[in-house]
Chain A
Amino acid sequence: MKTFTNTNPNSLDQAVSLVQQARTNGQTASLVGGGSDLLALVKDFIVKPDVLVNLKTIKGLDQVVPEAGGVHIGGLITLDALGSHPVIRSQYTVLAEAAETVATPQIRNVGTLGGNVCQRPWCWYFRNGFPCLKNGGSMCYSVGGENQFHAIFGGGPSYIVHPSDTATALVALGAKFRVVGPSGERVVPGADFFVLPRQDSTRENILAPGELLSAVQLAPAPPGRRSTYNKVLDREAWTHAVVSAAVVLDMDREICRSASVVLGGVAPIPWRVPDAERLLAGQRITPALASKVGEAAVAGAQPLTKNAYKVPMTKALVRRTVLALATRA
């Protein structure tokens, strides 16, 4: 592993200025929360930091705090703490369920929400050091290569899929993301936090160097809300979603007032499906409607040579998830 210096800020401002300072000295700095993703990248020489800024020494960023009727969740909360938090479990179930499906118990005990949302893609070309777009090169090797797990929506010029389960859930919940950086703080809608490769193929979100995701905010859950996260894996444990669906239904007895359907594992960003959401709004959810919603979820899919199986898989997952959630007692 490349050698680096470790710094322990005790505030966000200090963390930001440590990154600034390193950059002015011509050094590269990496922000580290749990470190599970970063350390693996550093060991493989994909990321080569001179300075590590250890966010774990900043106090108070690992809490779920009531705010304006909803909650404010610090970016340093571990996935384990998030998944077992009583308020998240009952009010924002889709997020708790997503957090519970991440990786392994060992990683959930250390990995943070901020780190999970901002993790780099798991495309094997990227992780194995190919000179691809994500590694500063000029092509995406998946197009003519092994693209079994790559994007069926929103791809080009890179075809990575966004790997974060919690990001998918947060977008479905309409979360707001708090970004802290050299020019202060800004709050952006979760959906605007992620960027498609056609906007910028070198990164997956709007974070500029030296910026970090400090917290997310969730509005109060209205009465009648139910939500869930379903994830298809290619083995029983410890892997990313082949396809996942985060579904939020706001019900008025039998009728769905409004819905949010966001897919994971199929696009370079959490993939919202407005057509599916529109079909559900104001309707009683029947098996026939759920089938239509599944169809709508895959309209416009553009599979690559080896991932067309994701189309029927996504369709079925959305249909089943919507129907099971609507008919749940």
Chain B
Amino acid sequence: MVNVTLRVNGETRSASVPPETTLLRLLRDQFNLTGSKLGCDVGDCGACTVIVDGQPVNSCLMLVGQVEGREVLTIEGLANADHLYPLQKLFEHFGSLQCGFCGPGVIMSAKALLDENPDPSTEEIRDALGGNLCRCTGYTKMIEAIKGASCILRGEEAPLVKSA
């Protein structure tokens, strides 16, 4: 067993788990944070994307042995009961998701991008989503939502016109 203590969404959490446990398993099975999804389990799809020390990573490829003392942000850490995070709000507004399975990972990648680059170009958004596979949408409405959220987060008015 490995004893691990880390920060998850601002809270200190500990667990004792087998060494082959991934961060994704830790979040989902030990901490009941099931927002991050298990897709491929090998780094292909990005459904498990969470932010570790400010950078988006595949939680399915990170072992508990590598997360001791680190700061993890998951989709559950963005909203509270009353307020959706701007990215979530605009994903809803633009209808950016269909089945939604890729959503938490996409939103965490987008959140990490906007934290670093508050006014990204379409090209930069596409690059930032390069590791997030969506099998339902064509990404267009996600990109619109991320642009809109970037306006809100910069304190500007978001263009809320939807594409056809």
Contact = CB atoms under 8 A, between A and B. Distances in A.
Contacts of B127: 105, 237
Nearest to A42: B20
Contacts of B56: 105-106, 109
B19 to A, nearest CB: 4
Contact of A39 (B44, B55, B63, B132): B63
Contacts of B18: 3
Contact of A104 (B55, B65, B130): B130
Contacts of A44: 42
Given A43-B42, A238-B44, A110 B20 contact: no
B136 to A, nearest CB: 17
Interface stretch (A4-12, A134-142, A292-300, A305-313): A4-12
Contacts of A8: 65
A110 B48 CA distance: 14
B42 A3 contact: no
B58 interface: yes
Given A40-B43, A106-B43, A6 B130 contact: no
A123 interface: no
B131 A110 contact: no
A110 B42 contact: no
B104 interface: no
A4 B20 contact: yes
Interface string A100-116: 00011111011000000
A260 B42 CA distance: 35
A156 interface: no
Contact of B57 (A4, A42, A110, A236): A110
A36 interface: yes
